[in-house]
Amino acid sequence: MKWKKEGQIKGDPRPPLPLSGEGRVAAYVELFHRGKLKERIEAAKSLLQSCHLCPRHCGVNRLEGEVGKCHTASKAIVSSYGPHFGEEAPLVGRCGSGTIFFTNCNLRCLFCQNYSISQLGEGENVSKEDLASMMLSLQAQGCHNINLVSPTHVVPQILEALEVAVESGLHLPLVYNSGGYDSVETLNILDSIVDIYMPDMKYSDEKIAEELSGIKNYPQVNKAAVKEMHRQVGDLKIDGAGVAQRGLLVRHLVLPNGLAGTKEVVNFISKQISLNTYSNIMAQYHPCYKAYEIPSLARPLSTAEFQEAVKLAHQAGLFRLNKAHPLVLRF
């Protein structure tokens, strides 16, 4: 099986340093040794029989090969994996974030920049042994964490692979990197397994969310999910080397014409989550996929729009912001 290994293309030529936080045991290791991880696996798999793993509640039997909105049956599908140096600074550190890109998604974002993976299904089926090997490979390459990109629809498959990987010595923190449309029921299964939650908060307006991402009740579901994530792991803790060890990191992609509802999102974070929330106000929107068909999305973000979003975050009391890259505009 031929995999796209990001590290072979974008690898860091510097020799790996010792893992930051070495000696700290990731949450799931203790759960495994207490014999409780297997119980969580069975609980997660039971959600696939009449699938309500995510808030879409498709009701199909994925264990029997049926598929719902995520177009994924009993096996996870992976597009690529490898050390990633373009993630948030506390995840990347010096040796990179160990990303595994899962194919498909429970959202239908018309502007998705990874649409070939999330919407068009680019990737290959993997066994739990395959997935465990990827995790262990990323650890061996010196990555600071295992970054599960779009994991919402494959939580049971991830947990099955995790059990295999822990038996072979996996100990890195898990990053749950999701679109933010997550079920609290499923998140409860992940309590004491995930160390770092990194959800999107995409929209504050339900109608816009349905129009642009094909999903109902996004703001309500998203807020409940982020509250649960913060309950489990608290504010982001970063070690002396600048590498994240545990906690919540929220992403918010600023959209043109105020479509993301930035003011409402940052006010929610500051008032109902924590003023100490590590947040990434993201400037990199540019038209992709079907965005050119939507007049309000058919241009890049302007410098003024991004600066206004950062100002709104500061006005809400959020100052723990990921260092933004310079915004390059081409109209």
Would you say residue 234 lies in a domain?
Answer: yes
Overall pTM surpassing 0.85 (yes/no): yes
Would you say residue 9 lies in a domain?
Answer: no
Whether the pLDDT of residue 19 is over 70: the answer is no
Asked if residues 271 and 227 have their Cβ atoms less than 8 Å apart, the reply is no
In sequence order, what are the residues at sequence separation of 6 or more whose Cβ sits closer than 8 angstroms to the Cβ of residue 315?
A: none
When divided into structural domains, the chain yields a total of 1
Whether the pLDDT of residue 178 is over 80: the answer is yes
Would you say residue 16 lies in a domain?
Answer: no
Q: What percent of the chain has pLDDT over 70?
A: 90
- CA 284, chain centre distance (Å): 17
Cα gap 129→276, rounded to integer Å: 38
Domain assignment of residue 207, given as a range: 25-315
Asked if residues 76 and 125 have their Cβ atoms less than 8 Å apart, the reply is yes
Supply the angle between the helices 155-167 and 37-46 in degrees, to the nearest 10.
Answer: 160
* Span 244-284, pLDDT tens digits: 999 999 999 999 999 999 999 999 999 999 999 999 999 99
Residue 43: CATH number of its domain: 3.20.20.70
Cα gap 170→250, rounded to integer Å: 26
Would you say residue 173 lies in a domain?
Answer: yes
Give residue 25's pLDDT.
Answer: 78
Whether the pLDDT of residue 141 is over 60: the answer is yes
Q: Which two tokens stand for residue 267?
A: 């006010």
Residue 49: DSSP 8-state: T
Give residue 62's pLDDT.
Answer: 97
Would you say residue 10 lies in a domain?
Answer: no
